[in-house]
Chains A and B, each alone.
Chain A
């Protein structure tokens, strides 16, 4: 690991984003807009809004970072810059940590904006500490990023990369316990939900919605963090110096 190369990569990724103000606006405004919509969908049912709003704070950074990072890494492959970087002294870890720092920073800003609007004017009522909410949202963002970097290796074009979002995210979303309690699902589905990382991300937010720091919440943090590391290790294995 080389700190200068890692930080330079972070700065470069952020600079690329800065040249694309429309993407920044979308990253920050869309979660706020969706939460506002949801608030008025459940206008007469504030308890349901509290129940669904928390998990959504986890889902936004997860899905947006998945998309942004898979397309960013795909561009890096298609443009030849990835191959060029791999012929320089840059270590794969420098590149991946550089990306993680950059998208982690964006995710923190995104979550701070979304949660301050949700917890403030929209009146979302979460019992847990705000720092716990932002921390979990950050982990979810890193999870989305790590999975996006990993799956981008299996896409040849941006069309394909975008298709990986419904393929990889929607099954996790359907089974995570947001639509139906996991306890009521058939055992096969419950088994699948148990191995999907998003289940723990959403469960964590549900824990934070109803109370403080519990053992189950700690487990959720650990599982999500572990999945981030595992996905990054797998992603690093897809960065091949040699190709046909």
Chain B
């Protein structure tokens, strides 16, 4: 099977600092991969490199067989930034209708994504009146509009209550079952149990690329946090 993402020796230099120091991995279609690591480890830079908005990138980054940032990928890759990138002065439905027009999605798609992120009852409300978690879900809904084959989500569950967090992870699993590939970053280690595979990032280097079970077996730790600590202490930063 062809990989959805193939990254080889990815390096990123920003302001004369090496933010990513030679990262290689692949993502298989229909999987949810967790990108875990402390803040400042380079998670966001890695995601920005994948979607082709990062400068100072060397190495090879290919998505769905195309180089990162290629025009043909703009419809098939969905990206959700950490801060919700939607119009705060518009209502939820106005935001979705605008991005739907830009992406060539129809009205049925707008209704469907509202349902998926559980915001149907907020459709007519201005985004700036919503809670932080609700805004994050509007931003996620926009990314879902184009039915992307690859979804890159930067900390989508930050600040959400446990029920919503669980519901979102169920949605991610459902999207993966339907064939999408997801890369989801988090600094909450217990979310590792929701992922098919984990990438552990520390100080710009990939220190692990394994399943949770594999990590626990390798380190003898009881949970993802313990495994991360064991690996971090074994590898000098």
Q: Could you list which residues of chain B lie within 8 angstroms of chain A, going by C-beta atoms?
A: 14-15, 51-56, 69, 71, 74-75, 77, 79, 81, 83-90, 94, 97-99, 101-104, 126, 142, 146
Interface of B is mostly: loop
Cα A79 to Cα B86 in complex, Å, equals: 7
Q: Assess whether B98 is in contact with A79, with CB atoms less than 8 Å apart.
A: no
Q: Assess whether B69 is in contact with A88, with CB atoms less than 8 Å apart.
A: no
Q: Nearest 6 CB-CB pairs, A to B?
A: A80-B85, A8-B101, A84-B85, A12-B98, A242-B55, A89-B74
Cα A60 to Cα B74 in complex, Å, equals: 39
Cα A80 to Cα B82 in complex, Å, equals: 10
Shortest Cβ distance from B85 into A: residue: A80
What are the interface flags for A98-127 relative to B under an 8 Å C-beta threshold, 1 for contact and 0 otherwise?
000000000000000000000000000000
Interface of A is mostly: helix
- Given the known interface contacts A81-B86, A83-B81, A87-B74, the answer about A244 and B14 at a Cβ–Cβ threshold of 8 Å is yes
Q: Assess whether B90 is in contact with A89, with CB atoms less than 8 Å apart.
A: no
Q: Assess whether B55 is in contact with A12, with CB atoms less than 8 Å apart.
A: no
What are the interface flags for A1-13 relative to B under an 8 Å C-beta threshold, 1 for contact and 0 otherwise?
0001101110110
Cα A9 to Cα B97 in complex, Å, equals: 11
**Shortest distance in angstroms between A79's beta carbon and chain B's nearest beta carbon?**
6
How extensive is the interface on chain A, given as a class? 20 to 34
- Given the known interface contacts A8-B98, A12-B98, A244-B15, the answer about A87 and B87 at a Cβ–Cβ threshold of 8 Å is no
Cα A81 to Cα B103 in complex, Å, equals: 14
- CB-CB under 8 A from B84, the residues of chain A are 80
Q: Assess whether B54 is in contact with A242, with CB atoms less than 8 Å apart.
A: yes
- CB-CB under 8 A from A29, the residues of chain B are none
Q: Assess whether B15 is in contact with A81, with CB atoms less than 8 Å apart.
A: no
Please tell me which one of the listed residues A4, A16, A94, A243 contacts residue B87 in the complex, with CB atoms under 8 A apart: A16
Shortest Cβ distance from B145 into A: residue: A88
Please tell me which one of the listed residues B89, B102, B146 contacts residue A8 in the complex, with CB atoms under 8 A apart: B102
Cα A20 to Cα B126 in complex, Å, equals: 12
Shortest Cβ distance from B143 into A: residue: A84
Q: Assess whether A84 is in contact with B81, with CB atoms less than 8 Å apart.
A: yes
What are the interface flags for A47-62 relative to B under an 8 Å C-beta threshold, 1 for contact and 0 otherwise?
0000000000000000
- CB-CB under 8 A from B83, the residues of chain A are 79-80
**Shortest distance in angstroms between B107's beta carbon and chain A's nearest beta carbon?**
13
Q: Assess whether B51 is in contact with A87, with CB atoms less than 8 Å apart.
A: yes
Cα A5 to Cα B102 in complex, Å, equals: 5
Q: Assess whether B14 is in contact with A4, with CB atoms less than 8 Å apart.
A: no
Q: Assess whether A89 is in contact with B98, with CB atoms less than 8 Å apart.
A: no
- CB-CB under 8 A from B51, the residues of chain A are 87
- Given the known interface contacts A88-B74, A88-B99, A88-B102, the answer about A12 and B87 at a Cβ–Cβ threshold of 8 Å is yes
- Given the known interface contacts A19-B126, A241-B53, A242-B54, the answer about A89 and B81 at a Cβ–Cβ threshold of 8 Å is no
